Amino acid sequence: MEAELYDDERITAFGLFAEVYTGLVTRFSAQLAEHGLALIEFEVLVRLARTPAQQLRMTELAGQVALTTSGITRVVDRLEREDLVRRRPCPEDRRGSWTALTATGQSRLSAALPDHLALLDRHFTGHFSAAERTQLVVRLREIRDEVHPAARPASPGPQNRTGRTSGRNRDRPGSPPEFPDKSPSTAR
C-alpha cells in the first residue's frame, strides 16, 4: 500500500512542475541578468507594463508578485534608484502609494523581452499547441485564484486577447492618477 502512495501520479505531476519551474527560473535569471535585471525586478516591470496607465498601488503590486510589503518596498527602491519606476503618494489614502513604470523602465523591459520570449517559447510555451496553451492559461489562472487570490487584479478591467483582465477599471473612483513622465529621455 505504501509503495502505491509514493508512486501516486499527483506527486509526480507536482514534482515535475516544481522541477520545470526551477529550471526555467535558472535560465530566465541568467538571461535577464544580461539586461541588468533580477527575475523579481523583471516581474514587477511586466506587471506594471500590463496595467492601465502602467501603474499599480504598492499593496496590489506586492500581492501580484507574491512579496510582503517590505519585500516589494525593497524591490521598488532598487528600481526607483535606476529610474525604472516612480513612486507617488495616493491622494485618496495618505498611507498608500502608486508605483509607475517610467520611460527608462519601459525601455529596459522592451530590450529584455525578445530574448525572454524566445526562451519561453523554446523551453515552455513552444511545447504546446495554441489550444493547449489557452487551456493551460485557464487552468493555471483557476489554480492561482484558489491558492493565491492576492495575485488577481484588484478590479475587473478590459480583457486582453488571452481573457486576462488587465487591471484596474479606469472609470472607477480611486483609479490611479496620471503621472507625467519626467524621465530624462522624455523631459522637454
For residue 142, the tally of other CB atoms under 10 A from its CB is: 10
Mean predicted confidence (pLDDT) in 35-58: 95
The domain locations on the chain are: 2-151
- Confidence band (pLDDT; 50, 70, 90) for 1? low
Q: Is 163 left (phi over 0), alpha (psi -120 to 50) or beta?
A: left
Is 50 exceeded by the pLDDT of residue 159? Answer: no
DSSP for 3-49, written as a single string:
HHHHT-HHHHHHHHHHHHHHHHHHHHHHHHHTTT--HHHHHHHHHHH
Indicate the CATH number of 2-151 among 1.20.120.160, 3.30.530.20, 2.40.50.180, 1.10.10.10: 1.10.10.10
Predicted TM-score (pTM) of the model is: 0.78
User: Cell 501603474 appears where?
Assistant: 55
